[in-house]
Structure 1
């Protein structure tokens, strides 16, 4: 009995410490539980905000896509109007800077150049030039190609007749200068036509006949067929497949194409969160049993 009472007396401090430890843990877990509940509330609010933001972003992307389509249509119409406003215009390339200084006006100078270069008789064709001037911009330095001369006719048929005659002779020579005549294209079309520079160079080297069509297409007469390319990307891709040494150009992705490729998916909302007590498969007593002292072999003897 004495040993039993002595054993209980020895265990009392341990049990008391365990009780205090459990009480302290319970208080700490209550604080953690309260903090977790607050976090859960804030997460619910964040999920609601994200869901509303996703909806607004989706609506914004739809609106932007529609606006980009409308913008493209308006740009095409604007380009068409710009081309129509230049229907009576031509550009003359290769006339040296200052060659017009001795003439009373640019209009009379252009008439003289066209009559002389194209071999027009005085009364063969009334040019009816409304106005003529150098392209806008500063005078280029020596060694740089001269600015083109912009000419506007009163009659569209006059312009077409002059262009046809100039193209038949692939331009003309005036005062030992090779002069070219072409349509007055808008800057956007000029930019697209210049993109074919490398393609035209390769075709010229291989002596393959080609023709640049309006607005920015290329007709190539290969031995086996005649091919018309609508874009520089299509031309370089096809010619590379035919074995020509040319850099393949990939079409740049527009903003509209990027938006259309986006696959916006909403995140699934979580259901009611698991109870914070889930996972406590064992009680404190069961966990503490793992620390129970096992009697040593020497003490059993």
Structure 2
């Protein structure tokens, strides 16, 4: 076969890429164009979706910012209201503390006056009882067979103290001590006797003390002064103090004028008051037997609920820091 025919046949079988009008070449270019168009459409849709999402996000951010602004505005208003209420509370607390300090000062003055009046009242009560004696140990109901208690007491004293039978004891009143009748196994109540003459009363009680009492109906009967309850309490403490010190081989007495003489093992010492003796004995490690009376400051601390609840037992109104000063100190420490 000639070469020209062979080349022609080859060109007919295998379509060349350089043939512009060749049909397969046209079809391939059309497919690639469609693909590029679809890619551009997808990209555009993506961009439109992203823009829509951005708009939604921006809208949500605007709404969130607006909500935050409204909430912050409400918080500022609440803070301002709270600050105003705190300032008002600070002022009222400061005023209350000032009034409390003034009230405590007034109460302290009243307690001073009350202590003074109690001492005066105890003294007046003791003076009103100076003409009285108490007879301890007489059985309950022993005066039932007598015409009166006065007659029973006169007979009792004349017979047991060896007094003249026709002597006038000048008894104004006589009665048993006030109170309910004790049980049969309890000590009987005492009999209070008031004399019209203080001299007669002193003679009778002196005679009874010299005889160290007497026995009536198989019971020991003693006579003593008619002391007030406060004095009886002090006498009880005094007796208890003597008992405790006696166990420590220590004796004491109260010579005239009113001082306290204590006999220690290493010597004797005289104190000006029971409080002085108490402090010295406490320093030596001895038991405290003399209880001094409660002062007005101690009474305020005991009766003041605020002092006890806040632990301010050792704090006095003069050394107390005001509420405003404490608050200002706290704020300065917070700033630092």
The answer to whether the superposition gives a TM-score over 0.5 is yes
Q: Which moved more, 1:42-51 or 1:253-262?
A: 253-262
Question: Which of 272, 276, 300 is residue 256 of structure 1 equivalent to?
Answer: 300
For residue 192 of structure 2, what is the aligned residue in structure 1? 150
* Cα deviation digits, residues 26-59 of structure 1 (max 9, x gap): 3322222222111111111111211221121112
Q: Secondary structure at the match of 1:173?
A: strand
Establish whether residue 266 from structure 1 lines up as the match of residue 322 from structure 2.
yes
CA contact (8 A) 1:233 1:249 kept: no
For residue 72 of structure 1, what is the aligned residue in structure 2? 115
For residue 182 of structure 1, what is the aligned residue in structure 2? 224
* Cα deviation digits, residues 53-102 of structure 1 (max 9, x gap): 11211121111111111111221111111111111000010112222223
For residue 279 of structure 1, what is the aligned residue in structure 2? none
Q: Secondary structure at the match of 2:193?
A: strand
* Cα deviation digits, residues 235-294 of structure 1 (max 9, x gap): 6983894757x88979768423556954443122667xx9xxxxxxxxxxxxxxxxxxxx
Using the alignment, how far apart are the partners of 1:142 and 1:236 within structure 2? 44
Using the alignment, how far apart are the partners of 2:118 and 2:222 within structure 1? 30
Is the alpha carbon distance of 1:94 and 1:257 closer, same or farther for their aligned partners in structure 2, counting shifts above 3 Å? same
For 1:39-54, list aligned pairs within 5 A: 39-54=82-97
Using the alignment, how far apart are the partners of 1:167 and 1:228 within structure 2? 29
Structure 1: where are the runs of 5+ without partners? 275-301
Is the alpha carbon distance of 1:60 and 1:92 closer, same or farther for their aligned partners in structure 2, counting shifts above 3 Å? same
CA contact (8 A) 1:93 1:180 kept: yes
Question: Which of 132, 135, 145 is residue 89 of structure 1 equivalent to?
Answer: 132
Question: Which of 207, 216, 220 is residue 165 of structure 1 equivalent to?
Answer: 207
Q: Which moved more, 1:235-244 or 1:56-65?
A: 235-244
TM-score relative to the length of structure 2: 0.63
Structure number with higher helix proportion: 2
* Cα deviation digits, residues 183-236 of structure 1 (max 9, x gap): 1111222233233454344466678766689xxx98765563376796699669
For residue 104 of structure 2, what is the aligned residue in structure 1? 61
RMSD of aligned alpha carbons: 4.3
Using the alignment, how far apart are the partners of 2:110 and 2:221 within structure 1? 44
* Greater gyration radius: 2
Question: Which of 166, 169, 172 is residue 127 of structure 1 equivalent to?
Answer: 169
For residue 292 of structure 1, what is the aligned residue in structure 2? none
Is the alpha carbon distance of 1:28 and 1:105 closer, same or farther for their aligned partners in structure 2, counting shifts above 3 Å? closer
Following superposition, the deviation at residue 177 of structure 1 comes to: 2.4
For residue 298 of structure 1, what is the aligned residue in structure 2? none
Using the alignment, how far apart are the partners of 2:275 and 2:146 within structure 1? 42
Q: Secondary structure at the match of 1:59?
A: helix
Equivalenced residues, count: 266
Is the alpha carbon distance of 1:267 and 1:171 closer, same or farther for their aligned partners in structure 2, counting shifts above 3 Å? same
Using the alignment, how far apart are the partners of 1:102 and 1:239 within structure 2? 55
For residue 141 of structure 2, what is the aligned residue in structure 1? 98
For residue 26 of structure 1, what is the aligned residue in structure 2? 69
Q: Which moved more, 1:174-183 or 1:41-50?
A: 174-183
Using the alignment, how far apart are the partners of 1:38 and 1:159 within structure 2? 80
Is the alpha carbon distance of 1:200 and 1:97 closer, same or farther for their aligned partners in structure 2, counting shifts above 3 Å? farther
